[in-house]
Amino acid sequence: MIEAVTAESIAKAVDALRVGECVGLPTETVYGLAADGLNPEAVAKIFEIKERPSFDPLIYHLADDTELSSVASDVPEVAQQLVNKFWPGPLTLVLPKQLIVPDVATSGLSTVAIRCPDHDAAQELLHAYGKPLTAPSANKFGRISPTTAQAVQEELGDAVAVILDGGPCRRGIESTIVDCTAETLKLARPGSLALEEIEEVTGPLEVLPHDGPPSAPGMLKSHYAPRTTMYLSRDPYHPGMLAGGNHGYLVLTNTGNPSRDVLELSGMGDLVEAGVRLFGAMRELDARHYQSIIAFPVPEQGIGRAINDRLQKAATGYVVWRDGNWILK
Ligand code: TXA
Ligand code: MG
């Protein structure tokens, strides 16, 4: 049930966590499905509710960095510098784990992903509970991440005891994940903290290439996906494309004719605003039951890197605009 954030609803959430239940947790990035990170049965419940495969590890949420050494067994100097600069905030660090962290949460890895959310309600709950909470995004596995309490309710229904309503997420895209377990730091997932900002502290990170959508059309959708089939266009948007059939269009800025079928992420072309709106816009287009959704990549800089990553993972393939039609390419 959705509850406004009050002393009572925080107390109710704490009670639920104590008995191994899950709660809907607002953060600045997306809503999480949180459980007691040190209780293996509670952690297992997250996987069950999300229908998440056991090989996909979770992220730990701490009230502040004084708790860091309770879950991480080694914090290199550079990781501490990142913590000092960006916590609380949308940066997750992968570090060697303490034995106390249950294997079910890390999918058997010897490392653990940890962050400190920059959201008042998340902070209140973490302080009140006094133990780390582990939380993936509060969507069914493979689906669009929720950025409002209502979207959590739509995704998970009554499977959670309490959904704390912290309002729409300020960032709208998941945290950036940096793997600090090897000599060279790696960008494990682009997210709402821009790579450029991190590299000011660390120097160049190793950036793994986008995997992109499966190359064969019709293959299994991977992640962040609407129910409607979504494609990425290799051609830039122009209003003439609207003649191409019953499609919804997702663009950064609609400079052509305004149309109900075209959702723009930011009138000013602002990538931060686009990130905030991305998942909500995908949900909105999905609810309109088009034949397909055609999305257009944004500039690959700042948050744009994370937006393109999510679009590519949500898409089943690429299309091009040829002679008045969309064709798979
Ligand atoms: O912003 C966020 O990070 C949100 C909010 C709720 O905090 N959480 C989130 O969790 O995005 P989730 O479960 O949707 O994504 C967790 C991802 C995993 O899919 C995996 O890629 C990475 O974190 N991860 C977790 N543990 C890891 C580890 N030990 N090594 C490498 N990657 C890890
Ligand atoms: Mg997720």
* Residue pLDDT, tens place only, 216-262: 444 445 688 899 999 999 999 999 999 888 999 999 999 878 899 99
Mean pLDDT throughout 174-191? 96
Q: Ligand 1 in contact with 27 (CB < 6 A)?
A: yes
Mean pLDDT throughout 267-291? 97
Of all residues in the chain, the percent with pLDDT exceeding 90 is: 91
Q: Which atom of ligand 1 is nearest to the CA of 97?
A: 29
| pLDDT tops 90 at residue 326 | yes
Q: Ligand 1 in contact with 176 (CB < 6 A)?
A: no
Q: Which atom of ligand 1 is nearest to the CA of 175?
A: 1
Mean pLDDT of the chain: 94
Q: Ligand 1 in contact with 178 (CB < 6 A)?
A: no
Q: Which atom of ligand 1 is nearest to the CA of 34?
A: 6
- ∠ Cα 293 231 90 (to 5°): 90
Q: Which atom of ligand 1 is nearest to the CA of 191?
A: 1
pLDDT in the model for residue 264: 97
Q: Ligand 1 in contact with 295 (CB < 6 A)?
A: no
Output the residue whose Cα is nearest ligand 1's atom 7. Answer: 32
pLDDT in the model for residue 218: 40
Q: Ligand 1 in contact with 192 (CB < 6 A)?
A: no
Confidence band (pLDDT; 50, 70, 90) for 164? Answer: very high
Question: What's the start-to-end Cα distance of the chain, in Å?
Answer: 44
Residue 324 neighbours by CB under 8 Å, 6+ apart: 243, 244
Mean pLDDT throughout 60-65? 97
Output the residue whose Cα is nearest ligand 1's atom 27. Answer: 113
pLDDT, one tens digit per residue, over 208-221 is: 776 555 444 444 45
Q: Ligand 1 in contact with 174 (CB < 6 A)?
A: yes
Which of 58, 119, 126, 309 has the most ligand 1 atoms within 8 A of CB, as the residue to mutate?
A: 58
Of all residues in the chain, the percent with pLDDT exceeding 70 is: 96
pLDDT in the model for residue 286: 97
For residue 37, give the ligand nearest its CA: 1
pLDDT in the model for residue 216: 47
Give CA–CA dist 287/48, Å, rounded. Answer: 26
Distance of CA 300 to the CA centre of its chain: 18
Residue 113 neighbours by CB under 8 Å, 6+ apart: 57, 58, 59, 60, 92, 93, 94, 177
Q: Ligand 1 in contact with 82 (CB < 6 A)?
A: no
The answer to whether the CB of 302 falls within 8 A of the CB of 171 is no
